[in-house]
Amino acid sequence: MFLNAEAFFESFTQIRDVFITGRKGSGKTLLSFAMARYALDNKFVAGVFANIPHAMPKAASVANAFVIVDESWQFIDNRFSRGTYSFMGAWSRKTNSLWAFPSVYGVDLRVRNLQCERIADINLLPIRAWLYRWTNCWGDKGHFVLVRPEEYYGSYDTKAIPVDDGGAVDSLMSLVPDGAKLVQRGGGSRASRGTNGFESLPAVATLGDLRALQDRVAELERIVEQLREFVGGPEHIGERIAEGCTGVTPGV
């Protein structure tokens, strides 16, 4: 049961995706399934589409579904998704889908318009409650409480390790006429959503991304060489500082 969560869920149903962050073992996935139950009870969706086994009503498609992408950093890592984004969470209003991205690591900015994190575990026997804070891209923020989180134990396999997105992107693209054309234009690719996190690395970046990276590396190498010339080599750094050189800061 949720308390003081009206503003949070209003924001969620408008933005239609949420990034749930926090330390390992802080109940990120549990909150996802608690939210899914809330969405089912309020008839926002008809089923749950997830990339881990669960006991809630299952959706065959992301359409009209609450979609949970557990360990989502593996598939939309914010460090590498600029050139390989897979459209995860796209067209959520048109497909009437709600997306939850529980992840201990950062995910793509495109699915971080609403974020929440557990900040307290309140155990006042016989009642246990988890306190969360949330914020959205419009500057709204607040707190809500999940009462008796243990009621959601058994809703999903806590030991399951997701190795892919559960078919979420394939399902989404099947709803889009000529969706393959979007992939071919570089917005996303099968490699980008991959079967594990390693396939999201820059090895699948576009040629333009690689050239930009090479230019950046060359620029950094030039800067390093200029610094070396400036200080006259490592053995002369102390001398340069002693001379009052303002371009070198001790300890940096």
Q: What pLDDT score does 88 carry?
A: 87
- Outline where DSSP puts E strands in the chain: 2-3, 17-21, 47-50, 65-68, 98-102, 114-124, 127-136, 141-147
13 shares its domain with 50: yes
pLDDT on residue 45: 97
How much is the pLDDT for 249?
42
59 and 160 in a single domain? The answer is: yes
CB 16 within 8 A of CB 93: yes
CATH number at residue 125: 3.40.50
Domain assignment of residue 135, given as a range: 2-204
At 109 the pLDDT is 86
Residue 237 inside a domain? The answer is: yes
pTM (two decimals) = 0.72
pLDDT computed for residue 79 by the predictor: 72
Q: What residue ranges of the chain have pLDDT lower than 50? A: 189-205, 237, 240-241, 244-252
Q: Does some domain include residue 119?
A: yes
For 17-44, give the DSSP string: EEEEE-STTSSHHHHHHHHHHHHHHTTS
Give the SS3 label for residue 154. Answer: coil
- If asked whether residues 166 and 213 sit together in one domain, one would say no
Give per-residue pLDDT as tens, 154-169. Answer: 999 999 999 999 999 9
* pLDDT value of position 181: 62
Per-residue pLDDT reduced to its tens digit, 54-112: 999 999 999 999 999 999 998 888 776 666 667 888 899 999 999 999 999 999 888 99
Residue 203: its pLDDT value, please? 38
Question: What is the predicted pLDDT for the residue at 201?
Answer: 35
